Amino acid sequence: MNSLSLQRIRGLLRKEFLQIWRDPSALAIAFVLPAALLLLFGYGVSLDARKVDLALVVQTPSPLASSFTSQFADSPYFISHPYSSIQAAEHDMTARTVKGIVWLPSDFSRRARSRGQAPIAVIVNGVDANNARLIEGYVQQVWGTWLTAQIRHSPPLLSVQTLIRFNPSVNSRNYLVPGLIAVIMTLTGALLTALVIAREWERGTMEALIVTRVYIHEILLAKLVPYFVLGMGGMAASVALAVGLFEVPLRGSFWVLATASALFMLTALGMGLLISSFARNQFVAGQIAIIVTFLPAFILSGFVFDIHSMPDMVQFVTHIVAARYLVAILQSVFLAGDVWSVILPNGAALLVMAVIFLGLARAMARKRLD
């Protein structure tokens, strides 16, 4: 079982490449879906609230009140709509035409000038909790700016300087697009591989291959190489689009990215092989691949949702999600540079996972033939 015949492998490789090329559904998963995902995340999806429709209720107009409300007109975060009664504003919030209300009650100017600490009510629609919190944060910024201008004669007690490292413009695209590469590689590495090999088992062509004079490790190798090439090609294309089209900074080196992605790709391929040899049926293989590889890459990897904020039990589970380690490396290499204290431990974890999954897939394949 030690001999590898280049000729046999070349023949098998040719077959695999032709099979991918001629199957429209494989091409759809390998090219169409990744491209759609990149474009959607690059152009469409954003967590940063911009141009929020905000109701400004001023019950008794005064110079002080308008000095406050005019701050909102200058803010890029809001589109302000003036109201004179809180009922009308509440009505529009129920109808979802405004997302939040800033309400200066009728005694606002009088209280502000006499005793101070006049309350300004900020009411946000809390259904989208994340968005609501961001809107509250923006209102606080506006209020802070106004306050500093108001009490110019006596400086504020605190001067707070907030520095956002690595992404000073706080653009959510800069962190979503790099993480997306892990999702795209999961699609080709695990989902596509699992589906295609399950189809061979289903149709019996796998058995047909096995009875020929090729060794099992040659078959596995010939299965791995084309999808590895597809996945790495997808990675390179994604990096090119991210940097060229979406202007995400790439502060680290491409070779670190490529090495980490290659390790991840091997893990994903191992999972794909393993799933297909368990399931042996396209439908089940597809379902399992979505549940154990695609969804975790989306939800449990830190790609969109921060792992620190998850319940302890869920955080524990994320340790067996390979995408987690790649996402950590991707976000750091793109935005922060070659931070070895992030790259080395996560790269080591990827290496361990790649060895485990490929080893398991190899062992399963041998067992099935006995």
Partner 1 sequence: MWRQVFALIVKELLAVLRDQKSRMVLIGPPLIQLMIFGYAATFDLNQVPMAIYNKDHSAPSRELVARFEGAPTFHRVATLTQSQSLDALIDSRKVAMVLVIDERFTHDLLTHQSARVQVIVDGRNSNTAMLIAGYSNIILNDFSQSWGSSHGAAPIPAVLDLRARYNPTLSSQWFIVPGIVALLTQVVTLLVVGLSVARERETGTFDQLLVTPMRPIDILLGKGFPGLLIGILEASVIIGAAVGWFDIPLRGGFIALYLGLFLFVIAVTGIGLMISSLVLTQQQALLGVFLFMVPSIILSGFATPIENMPDWLQTLTAINPMRYILVIVRSVFLEGATLSTLQAQYFPMALIALFTLTAAGWLFRKRTN
* Bridge partners, residue 78, by sequence: 52
Which of 96, 110, 319, 368 contacts partner 1 by CB under 8 A?
A: 96
Residue 107 tokens, joined = 């005694």
Rounded CA-CA distance 181/303 in Å is 10
Which of 46, 60, 145, 253 contacts partner 1 by CB under 8 A?
A: 46
Q: Of 350, 346, 320, which Cα lies nearest the Cα of 332?
A: 346
The minimum distance between CB 222 and partner 1, in angstroms, equals 21
Show the site string, 130-169: x = touches partner 1 by CB under 8 A, - = not: xxxxx-xx-xxx-xx--x--xx--xxxxxxxxxxxxxxx-
User: 37 or 354: whose CB is closer to partner 1?
Assistant: 37
Would you count residue 86 as binding partner 1 (CB under 8 A)? no
Would you count residue 2 as binding partner 1 (CB under 8 A)? no
Q: In the block, which residue shows the tokens 């062992």?
A: 363
The minimum distance between CB 288 and partner 1, in angstroms, equals 9
For residue 6, give the amino acid letter.
L
The minimum distance between CB 286 and partner 1, in angstroms, equals 5
Is 248 buried (19+), middle (13-18) or exposed (0-12) by CB count in 10 A?
Answer: buried
Query: What are the CA-CA distances from residue 320 to residues 20, 183, 275, 315, 362 (Å)?
Result: 30, 16, 16, 10, 20
Which of 4, 18, 73, 121 contacts partner 1 by CB under 8 A?
A: 121
Q: Which span (223-231, 257-265, 276-284, 362-370) binds partner 1, by CB under 8 A? A: 276-284
For residue 327, give the amino acid letter.
V
Would you count residue 316 as binding partner 1 (CB under 8 A)? no
Q: Which residues ranging from 224 to 263 are in contact with partner 1 (CB under 8 A)?
A: none
Q: Which residues ranging from 5 to 34 are in contact with partner 1 (CB under 8 A)?
A: 25, 28-29, 32-33
Would you count residue 124 as binding partner 1 (CB under 8 A)? yes
Would you count residue 36 as binding partner 1 (CB under 8 A)? yes
Which of 80, 277, 293, 331 contacts partner 1 by CB under 8 A?
A: 331
Long-range contacts of residues 251-258, Cβ cutoff 8 Å, at least 24 apart? 251/333, 251/334, 251/335, 251/336, 251/337, 252/332, 252/333, 252/334, 252/336, 252/337, 252/338, 252/339, 253/333, 253/338, 256/329, 256/333, 256/338, 256/343, 257/329, 257/330, 257/333, 258/232
Which of 22, 115, 152, 367 contacts partner 1 by CB under 8 A?
A: 115
Would you count residue 95 as binding partner 1 (CB under 8 A)? yes
User: 5 or 140: whose CB is closer to partner 1?
Assistant: 140
